[in-house]
Chain A
Amino acid sequence: MTSSSAPAGEATTAARPRPVRRAAGDLPFTFADRDLALALASERAEPDWLQDDRVAAWQAFDAMPVESNQLYTPYVDLRAAVLDRIQPWIQTASGPEAGTITDLPDDVDALIEVREDRVVGLALSPAATAAGVVLETFGAALTRDPDGFRADIEGGGTLPADDKLAQLVRGFWSQGVRVVIPDGVHLVRPIVVRWRSGNPGRAMLTRTLVHLGAGAQATLVEEQLPSGADVDCAEGETVPQGFFHGTTEVILEADARLAAASIQDLGERQVAFQHRHARIGNGASLHWAMAQLGGRLVRSRVDNRLEGDRSSVEQVEIVFGTGEQLFDLTSYTRHLGRDTTGNLLSKGALSDRSRVYMKGLITIEKSAVGTDSYLGEFGMNLSRAARAVAIPSLEIDQPDCRRAMHSSSVGPIDSNQLFYLESRGISPDDARKFIVLGFLEPVVARVPLEAAQVRLRELLEAKWAAGMAGTAPGAAGAAA
Chain B
Amino acid sequence: MTSSQTRELVADRREQYAFHDDIAYLRETKRGLTRETVEEISAIKAEPDWMLQSRLRAYDHFLKRPMPMWTDGLDKIDFDKIVYYRKPSEREEKSWDDVPDQIKATFERLGIPEAERKFLAGVGAQYDSEVVYHSVKEELSKLGVVFMGTDQALKEYPEIFRKHYGTVVPHEDNKFSALNGAVWSGGSFVYVPKGVEVPLPLQAYFRINGENTGQFERTLIVVEEGAMVHYIEGCTAPIYATDSLHVAVVEVVALPGSKVRYTTIQNWSNDVYNLVTKRAHAHTNAKVEWIDANTGSRKTVKFPSIYLRGEGASADIISVAVAGKGQHQDTGAKAIHLAPNTTSRIVSKSVSKDGGRATYRGHLKVSPGATGVVASVRCDALMLDDESRSDTYPYIDIQEDDTTMTHEATVGKISAEQIFYLMSRGLTENEAQNLVIQGFLEVFTKELPMEYAIEFNRLVKLEMEGSLG
Contact = CB atoms under 8 A, between A and B. Distances in A.
Interface of A: 70-71, 73-74, 366, 379, 381-401, 403-412
Contacts of B44: none
Given A389-B395, A398-B386, A405-B410, 15 more contacts: A70-B70, A383-B401, A389-B396, A389-B398, A392-B409, A393-B392, A396-B411, A401-B412, A404-B410, A405-B408, A407-B409, A408-B394, A409-B407, A410-B398, A411-B402
A406 B405 contact: no
A213 B54 CA distance: 68
A394 to B, nearest CB: 4
- Specify which of A71, A394, A399 lies most central, judged by the most chain B CB atoms within 10 Å of its CB: A399
B405 A411 contact: yes
Nearest to B399: A387
A70 B388 CA distance: 22
Contact of A408 (B391, B401, B407, B412): B407
A412 B413 contact: no
Contact of A396 (B389, B394, B402): B389
B385 to A, nearest CB: 7
A394 B392 contact: yes
Place the interface of chain B in its size category: 20 to 34
A396 B381 contact: yes
A407 B401 contact: no
A408 B395 CA distance: 10
A408 to B, nearest CB: 4
Which 3 pairs across A and B sit closest by C-beta, in order of nearness?
A399-B383, A381-B401, A399-B413
A195 B335 CA distance: 43
Contacts of A411: 402-405
Interface of B: 69-70, 368, 381, 383-386, 388-413
Nearest to A364: B411
Contacts of A397: 389
Contacts of B393: 71, 391, 393
A112 B400 CA distance: 42
Contacts of A396: 381, 383, 389-391, 411
19 contacts: A381-B398, A381-B400, A384-B400, A386-B399, A388-B396, A388-B397, A389-B395, A391-B395, A392-B394, A393-B393, A393-B394, A394-B390, A394-B409, A395-B391, A396-B381, A397-B389, A401-B412, A411-B403, A412-B404
- Specify which of B69, B408, B411 lies most central, judged by the most chain A CB atoms within 10 Å of its CB: B411
A392 B394 CA distance: 6
Contact of B409 (A70, A401, A406, A410): A406
Contact of A409 (B386, B388, B397, B405): B405
B407 A390 contact: yes
Nearest to B365: A389
A410 to B, nearest CB: 4
Contacts of B397: 387-389
Given A382-B401, A391-B394, A393-B391, A403 B412 contact: yes
A325 to B, nearest CB: 15
A383 B399 CA distance: 9
